[in-house]
Amino acid sequence: MRLKAVAIDIDGTLTDEKRRINLEAVALLRELERRGVAVILATGNILCVTEAVQTFIGTTGAIIAENGGVVKDSVLGVERYLGDVVEVRRAFNYLVAKREVRPVPYSELRKTEVAIIREGVTVEEVRTLLRDFNVEVVDTKFAIHIKSPGVSKGRALEELAELRDLDMKKIVAIGDSENDRDMLAKAGYAIAVGEPSLSDVANLVTKQRFGRGAVEALHHVLEQIR
């Protein structure tokens, strides 16, 4: 496998169900970096949290945050915000008037989307209530996100590939949820972590879930580049 980069989700992929990061997976990411493969962190989380994870793991392949709404490459000095946050917030204000929903912690730091706690409302209800707004609603298993249509991890990965002059065919994508679907579909090789519903866009579905599945996926990637 002629590999230049690995784009990997964080919550539910590198972590367990309590969002505790798998340290064996971290060691494998560092091994990829040691071999010259840039690791891109692609998450629904906010930028500052993702930057902290990047710092502590030691990855060099830039950041995709807020489900593709934020693209940041510190090496190139590039930071981009995608989507129409005005429409997103207008939709959220309407939702608040109709249902008792709560934003996730640190929502004031989100630049391109709104994320709400998955309690008291389903993603189907949110989609129905916001059907007249130009927004997309996705369930990441940890929160329900309201974002602009067309904004995705896949689109953001394409932007990063263009910035760094990378061939998308030489990028492996690893994720576990519907918000990873577009990224998995657009990468040269895709691994779904313990999620059979993504098998239509994945070359491999790991037997294990969460961080243990990421370990399985990363071992597979490392074996391919030996």
Give the tens place of pLDDT for each residue, 5-29.
999 999 999 999 999 999 999 999 9
Q: Give 202's contacts (C-beta < 8 A, 6+ positions apart).
A: 184, 190, 191, 192
pTM (predicted TM-score): 0.96
The sheet carrying 136-139 orders its strands as 114-116, 144-147, 136-139
Asked whether the predicted pLDDT for residue 2 surpasses 90, the reply is no
The residue among 26, 28, 18 whose CA lies nearest residue 54 is 26
Residue-wise pLDDT tens digits, 28-78: 999 999 999 999 999 999 999 999 999 999 999 999 999 999 999 999 999
- Tally of CB atoms within 10 A around 222: 17
11 is catalytic: no
Six token digits for residue 177: 């949820």
Task: Select which of 9, 11, 176, 180 is catalytic.
Answer: 9
Task: Say if CB 170 and CB 86 are below 8 A apart.
Answer: no
Q: Identify the CATH assignment for 85-147 out of 1.10.1040.10, 1.10.8.350, 3.90.1070.10, 3.30.800.10.
A: 3.90.1070.10
> What mean pLDDT value characterizes the chain?
97
Angle among Cα 116, 120, 125 to the nearest 5 degrees reads 75
Domain boundaries, the chain: 5-81+151-224, 85-147
- Tally of CB atoms within 10 A around 139: 17
Residue-wise pLDDT tens digits, 175-214: 999 999 999 999 999 999 999 999 999 999 999 999 999 9
Q: Exposed/middle/buried for 93, CB within 10 Å: 0-12, 13-18, 19+?
A: exposed
Confidence band (pLDDT; 50, 70, 90) for 1? low
Asked whether the predicted pLDDT for residue 86 surpasses 70, the reply is yes
Alpha-helix residue ranges (DSSP H) falling in 15-77: 23-34, 47-57
Distance CA 72, CA 64 (A): 7
Distance CA 42, CA 62 (A): 9
Task: Provide the CATH number for the domain formed by 5-81+151-224 in this structure.
Answer: 3.40.50.1000
Distance CA 219, CA 46 (A): 28
Q: Give the pLDDT score at 23.
A: 98
CA dist 35 to 28, 42, 169, 221, Å?
Answer: 11, 20, 18, 12
Distance CA 94, CA 2 (A): 48
CA dist 64 to 101, 196, 212, 226, Å?
Answer: 26, 24, 22, 27
